[in-house]
Chains A and B, each alone.
Chain A
C-alpha cells in the first residue's frame, strides 16, 4: 500500500504541476457587435468564420441537437472561457442554454463546434443574453486545451466596479488573512462573508476546467475545499485555493491546488496549479 502511494504521488507529480500564464486573446482578434435585445444590452456576439477548405479538403459539417451532450459540453467550454476572461468575485458566467450547434471537422486542426447560446452572470444576477462562439478541440495523442474564439473588447458586464473596489480595499487592509474551508458546506450553506471567495474560486477553477476540457468532459466546481489569503504582491490580492472539480462524464472529482491573484484592474490570474494525488491508502500510525 505504501508503495502504491509513492507510485501514485510520483506519477502525478511528474505529469501535472505547471505554471499557467495569464490568458491572452487568440491570434485572430474578432470584432464584436453590440447586440441589444430588449432591455438586455449584450455586447457578446462572437463572430464565426465561414467554413474554409485546406488544400482542397472538404469540410464536413454536421448539425447537432442542441439538447444533446455534444452541444452541452461545448457550451460549458465557452462558459469556462468567458469566466477566465471576464470573471471576478462579483461576476460568474453560466451558459444557460445552447440554441443551435453544429460541428465542422477541420481535419488535422481538430473538431470545431459552432454554437449559439444564452449566457448570464449569476453572481450579480445579470440578464440572460444571446451570443455565439466557436470551440476548437485540437486533435492529437497529447491532450491540448480547446481554443475558443473571442475578443476582450466591449464585453457585456454588469457594473460591479464599486463592489469590486470595496472588496479589494477591505481585503487589502484586513487585520488578518482570510482563511476558510468547505464552501459550500455539506448542506449547501455558504457564509455570506465567503460568497465572493466562492465566486473567485469559480473563476479561478475555470482556468483549470478550460485546460482540462475535451469533447468527453463536462466540468463544474463541486466545492472549495480551502481558501487561504497570502500576502499582497504588486497590488494584487493573492490566495491559495484547494478546489474539488467534478467531471460529469467520468463522474470523477479531482482536487486541485492553485495560487490565484486578483485586483479590479487586472482581473483573476492563476499563477500556479497542481493536481493533488488521490491516494487511497489507509493512513498508518507512526511510533
Chain B
C-alpha cells in the first residue's frame, strides 16, 4: 500500500518537478532509475528520505560525464578525420599538406614513404612521396608541383593524384602494373617558402624567398634557375623581376635539392613538372625554339595524353614545345631533365585560361585533378611500356 502510494506520489512528482525516469516502476522487486534535475534535487532527496524509500546515487553529475564523453568523441573524430576525410576539394596550408602526407604514408605503409630531400632557403623541410613496391633504384618517374608558389591548384591537384594513385594500387590493373615495375616520386610543394608567403603576405608571390645581395627585391624564379640555357632569353637578370634567373644555375637550394636527388638516383625515365594556368601540355625546349630529336614522339604522347584528359569534362588543352606554345624561357626544369637524358620530359599548365587564373575556385580542384590524372596516367603508362 505504502509502496503504491509512494509510486503514485512519485508519478505526480514527475509531472510537477520534471523527473526523468530512466527505468519505470514495473515491480516491487526491481529498482527504479531516475534522472533528477539539479533544481529538483533537494526536494526529491527529502521526499525519498521522508518516505523511507532507499536510494543510492549512481551518477553524481551527469553533465560532467556527458562533457567527457563528448570530448572523447571529438578526439576520435579528429583521428578518423585525418586519415579518411582530408578535404581534397580545398586549398590547404603547408602544415596541413605535410600532416596529410604522414597520414597517407601511415595508411599505405607498403607503398608510400616520405623522403626528406633537403631544406628550403628559410629552412623548411622539402619532402618527396616515394611510391614503390620494392626493388633497388627501379626505373622511376618524377612529378613535381608548386614550384611557382601562386599556382595553388598544381599542389592541390597533386595531393589528390597522390591519394588516387595510392588507392588505385591493387585495384586498377594499369596503376598496379605501373607500380609493380617502376617507382613514382611525387614532390607536392617544390617551393615551400613561397607557398607559405602566399598564405601570409602576398597571394601573388611566384619566386623563392632568397635574399638577393645588393637588392631590396627577394626571390629567384625557380623555373629559370636550372642549368639549361641558363641566363638566356626569356629570363631576367633583374632581381626585382618575376622571371629573375638568379646569380647562377642551381643557386636556389630548392632547385639544387631536386637536381642532386635526380642525378644521384640516376634512373629516372620521365620528369614531369606541374604548373598553372593556361591549359597546356608542353615538352622541351623552352630555351630555344628548335625542335628536339624526339619531337614527333613527345608530341604524339602529349596529344594522346590530352585526349585522355579532355575525355572527362571536355577541357581543351594545347600541345607543343614550351618555346612555341607559350614563350621562349631559359633555365627551365624540363629542359634540364631532357638534356641530362630523361627523354619523357613534360610540363603541364593546368586550369584555367585566365578567367580566374591563379585564383581558381576550390570547387574546381577535384575536377582539375581528376582530368589531369587521366593525362598523367597516360604518360606514365607510356613510359612503363617504352623502356629505354
Contact = CB atoms under 8 A, between A and B. Distances in A.
A and B part of one assembly: yes
A252 B242 contact: yes
Q: Is the interface of B mostly helix, strand, loop or mixed?
A: loop
27 contacts: A67-B318, A67-B319, A68-B325, A69-B327, A94-B354, A94-B355, A122-B355, A184-B356, A186-B199, A186-B203, A187-B91, A188-B356, A188-B359, A188-B363, A189-B361, A220-B355, A222-B358, A223-B203, A223-B359, A246-B357, A246-B358, A248-B278, A248-B326, A248-B327, A250-B243, A253-B242, A280-B240
A16 interface: no
Contact of A4 (B198, B206, B216, B361): B216
Given A220-B354, A278-B240, 18 more contacts: A69-B324, A69-B326, A94-B353, A94-B355, A97-B316, A184-B356, A186-B91, A187-B362, A188-B364, A189-B361, A222-B358, A248-B327, A251-B221, A252-B241, A253-B204, A280-B217, A280-B240, A281-B216
B90, B240, B278, B359 pick with most chain A CB within 10 angstroms: B359
B320 interface: yes
Nearest to B205: A253
B148 to A, nearest CB: 8
Contacts of A186: 91, 198-199, 203, 359
B175 interface: no
Contact of B324 (A1, A68, A220): A68
B202 to A, nearest CB: 10
Given A189-B362, A220-B357, A244 B241 contact: no
The 4 closest A-B pairs by CB, nearest first: A188-B361, A220-B354, A251-B242, A280-B216
B335 to A, nearest CB: 17
Interface residues of A, number: 31
A188 B199 CA distance: 13
A184 B204 CA distance: 13
A26 interface: no
A125 interface: no
Q: Is the interface of A mostly helix, strand, loop or mixed?
A: loop
Contacts of B359: 184-188, 222-223
B19 interface: no
Interface string B313-341: 00010111000111100000000000000
Interface residues of B, number: 36
Contacts of A67: 318-320, 325
Contacts of B242: 250-253
Contacts of A184: 356, 359, 361
A11 interface: no
B291 to A, nearest CB: 13
Interface of B: 90-91, 198-199, 203-204, 206, 216-218, 221, 240-243, 278, 316, 318-320, 324-327, 353-364
A65 B356 contact: no
A253 B151 CA distance: 14
A223 B360 CA distance: 11
Nearest to B318: A67
A183 B326 CA distance: 27
Nearest to A222: B357
Contacts of A40: none
Interface string A237-256: 00000001010111111000
B325 A69 contact: yes
A262 B364 CA distance: 32
Contacts, number: 79
Interface in A182-199: 184-189
A213 B219 CA distance: 27
Interface string A158-195: 00000000000000000000000000111111000000
A71 to B, nearest CB: 11
A129 B111 CA distance: 50
Contacts of B325: 67-69
A79 B171 CA distance: 46
Nearest to B223: A251
A108 B91 CA distance: 50
B337 to A, nearest CB: 21
B237 to A, nearest CB: 14
A275 B218 CA distance: 22
Nearest to A202: B355
Contacts of A122: 355
A192 to B, nearest CB: 13
Interface in A212-263: 220-223, 244, 246, 248-253
A187 B221 CA distance: 23
Contacts of A248: 278, 326-327
A165 B59 CA distance: 68
A67 B306 CA distance: 14
Interface in A61-96: 65, 67-69, 94
Interface in A19-44: none
